[in-house]
Amino acid sequence: MTPVLLPDCGSPPPYAKSPGQSPLPGYVLLEPLGRGGFGEVWKCEAPGGLHKAIKFVAGDTDAVTNTSTSAQLRQELDAFQQVKAIRHPFLLSLERVELVGNELVMVMELADRQLGDRFTECRAQGLPGIPREELLGYLREAAEALDVIGAQYGLQHLDVKPANLFLTAGHVQVGDYGLVSKLDAGKNRGESRGLTPRYAAPEVLCGQVHTRSDQYSLALVYQELLTGTFPFNGTSARQLMMQHMSAQPDLSALAEPDRAAMATALAKQPEARFASCTEFVRALAGTPPAAPAPGSGGSGVTRAVPAPSGRGGAVGPPDGTGTPAYGSAHETLHNGALPFADSLPQHIRLEQILSVVPTAWLQGRPAAHPGRPPAQVVNAILRAAEARTGGPAALGAVSCGADGTWTCRFLTTIDPRVARVKLDLLWEEGGVAMDLRSEQRVVFRRLAPQPPSSGWFGSVGKKAKAPDSGLEVSVELPETSHGIGEVTVIGKYFGNPPPDFTKSGEKVIVKLIDGIRRTLNNVEDRRKHPRVPAPFPLELFPIHSDGHVEPPIPAVCRDVSAGGMAFVCKVDPPTKHLYVTFDGVAGTAGLGVLIQIITSEWQENEVLITSRYRLDLWPDRD
């Protein structure tokens, strides 16, 4: 077979959209990113000046008047709404989906590049494809995401291919949900519309969707990106469709150990494939399958039992039981394939991976769910570092001084006039009211309740005194409307509010400041977070994608910022995600914070690691 990545079959239609169009209020099309049988994908400018990807999934031209077609589009809309509600680190965020006329319009996160781009880089370096261990790391992430939407939400992606596996900060995110389907949608619901025959499973080509349809496509992607060859040599859509349904795949370009796993994943009958995409990747990596997840007991932690031999316990079994933990972290391969956590001796397994967990969970002991939001824990770390060094708070951090005043500074390019309009939308945040709005300053206030009058006649014939205490959050806007300016937000109490009010008011202040920062801080990702030296002793708990916790590793913190931290230790951690516990840092006692390793570099006899906080895996507990 010729080692080349063939284009998708079919001739795409000309672009129906054009730059400058506004398909949704506030969204302006900039340039096309791709097209196919499904429709088109465009880069667009969203409200606030952010860049997003917007996809148009076209229905039939008579969809508005054709009842069956309209019902089909609404069925697809329901499926996309389910995807929109899913939060997972390896799923590209679907931010908005609407039915406009005869097409579905979806707004998605804009990724850095596609996995196919990485393949092209490797080919330019004289390699047959992406190095195997690197590719297995990518596939493991994609498999976890596909298993989550399949087992937990009853969905199949149906368009798994290199162009729909996106790379963001070195990790894969599955995206481009133009064909996503409910497993109970039934036959002949139009899956053939917009299909890429090159990667479609046989049953999908026949109008049926199975829990293992995406696994078939993922296997095709593996051989193609690893070797530059494809298991089927058809050169037209019709030839490929016939080969998928009747021909045996050509696996000769693969090493012998890979062929058995690939043959199983590419079985014509979906029941003969692996129980999940994750089990398929495990088979490729030469690791035993995971044991079924124990039943949840409410303590947040269970003891894991070593996996039995054979294929009896998949992370994502066919019937939707024992699925991976929601929002789980990720293990990658370093210096060869590492064993999965459940192939190690008996150890601890978290039932749910969150941004912050009790240290007791990491030690195998029961504990209540952590009530403190992760942003507050990170702010406590920053305040402790600043207290030791005497330095100012890092940009983007919310710090609290000794006098109880909360402060946050950040950068923005938003014109002050526009900023004031945007802040108008936040007045309901925490029950506050906009008390002042001038050219450069906006003030929000929440008044403490007035205590009832005392005495026999306290409530008769007297007008209640106006409250003279409460909390206040002021926003100082930049003086210039050109370029980048610095916004200062200050939160404090005024008057003498009662203790109950000040206790609950801290959460209101922090939430409101965070809302202001999210509304105006539009250049946070364009510059590094200033780092504050922080020589804290640490303990690192490596966490695997299935929730298994490794024994702790001692480390020493170098510096911290609002976005992450750097530290040194004597060994290279075996996973990309770790829980970090801090010794002697006020506000973090008994808690572990989830981080993701960005870089690691050996320096003499220790490894220097930089990381970022994973604050996105946290349920809304308002």
* 3-state SS, residue 229: coil
Sheet containing 94-100, strands listed edge to edge, beginning at the edge strand earlier in sequence: 28-36, 39-45, 51-58, 103-108, 94-100
Domain boundary among 505, 526, 547: 526
pLDDT at 179: 54
| Average pLDDT value for the chain | 76
Q: What is the CATH number of the domain that holds 115?
A: 1.10.510.10
Could you tell me the two tokens for 11? 């001739």
| Claim to verify: residue 603 and residue 502 sit in the same structural domain | no
Is a pLDDT exceeding 80 seen at residue 507?
Answer: yes
Strands of 348-350's sheet, edge to edge? 301-303, 348-350, 548-549
Q: Could you give the percent of the chain with pLDDT greater than 70? A: 73
Are residue 195 and residue 96 in the same domain, yes or no?
Answer: yes
* Residues 510 and 550 grouped into a single domain: no
CA atoms within 13 A on the CB side of 482: 0
pTM of the model: 0.48
546 & 405 share domain = no
Q: Residues 63, 199: one domain?
A: yes
Reference 178, options 81, 102, 99, 76; nearest CA is 76
DSSP string of 585-597, one letter each residue: -TT-TTEEEEEEE
> Do residue 403 and residue 552 come from a single domain?
no
- Asked which of 60-64, 140-144, 234-238, 418-422 is least confident by mean pLDDT, the reply is 60-64
Q: Indicate whether 312 belongs to any domain.
A: no
Domain-located, residue 70: yes
Tokens of 313: 């316990």
Query: Which comes out higher in pLDDT, residue 587 or 39?
Result: 587
Residues 6 or more apart in contact with residue 342 via CB below 8 angstroms: 288, 290, 291, 304, 306, 307, 349, 546, 548
Question: Under 8 Å CB-to-CB from 59, ≥6 apart: which residues?
Answer: 69, 70, 72, 73, 102, 103, 104
Query: What is the per-residue pLDDT for 294?
Result: 34
Asked if residue 522 and residue 534 are part of one domain, the reply reads no
Query: For residue 344, what pLDDT is reported?
Result: 34
For 121-144, the pLDDT digits (tens) are 999 999 999 999 999 999 999 999
Residues near 14 by Cβ (< 8 Å), separated by ≥ 6?
none
With respect to residue 17, please indicate whether it lies within any of the assigned structural domains.
no
- Residue 11 pLDDT exceeds 60: no
Residue 198 resides in a domain: yes
Domain extent, residue 77, equals 28-286
Domain count, the chain: 3
Q: Are strands 51-58 and 113-114 parallel, antiparallel or unpaired?
A: unpaired
Give a yes or no: residue 156 inside a domain.
yes
DSSP class of 280: H
Q: Residues 160, 146: contact at Cβ < 8 Å?
A: yes
Would you say residue 296 lies in a domain?
no
CA neighbours closer than 13 Å in the CB half-sphere of residue 118: 25
CATH number for 487:
3.30.530
* Last residue of one domain, picked from the residues 286, 313, 333: 286
Domain boundary among 268, 286, 304: 286
Model pLDDT for residues 207-222, shown as the tens digit of each residue: 888 999 999 999 999 9
174 and 272 share a domain? Answer: yes
**How far is it, in rounded angstroms, from Cα 572 to Cα 535?**
19
pLDDT band for position 73 (cuts 50, 70, 90): low
Judge if 576 and 474 occupy the same domain: no
Say yes or no to pLDDT of 298 above 50.
no
Distances in Å between the Cα of 50 and the Cα atoms of 43, 64, 528, 546 are 10, 32, 18, 34
Residue 456 lies in a domain: no
SS3 annotation, 120-137:
HHHHHCCCCCCCHHHHHH
Give 151-171 as a DSSP string.
IIT-EE----SGGGEEEETTE
Q: Kindly report the backbone phi and psi dihedral angles of residue 269, in degrees, each rounded to the nearest multiple of 5, phi listed first.
A: -90, 120
Q: Give CA separation, 126 vs 135, 259, 462, in Å.
A: 16, 24, 88
Give the C-alpha separation, 362 to 77, whole Å: 40
The pLDDT of residue 234? 92
Shared domain for 430 and 553, answered yes or no, is no
In a domain, residue 439? The reply is: yes
From 176-180, 404-408, 493-497, the region with the lowest mean pLDDT: 176-180
408 and 534 in a common domain:
no
pLDDT attached to residue 57: 80
pLDDT reported for residue 529:
55
- Ranked by mean pLDDT, the top range of 271-285, 362-376, 535-549, 599-613 is 271-285
Indicate if 564 and 436 belong to the same structural domain. Answer: no
Could you report the per-residue pLDDT of 363-413, keeping only the tens digit for each?
Answer: 888 888 777 788 888 888 888 887 776 555 556 777 777 677 888 888 888
For residue 465, count other CB atoms closer than 10 A to its CB: 9
Compute how many other C-beta atoms are within 10 angstroms of the C-beta atom of residue 13: 12
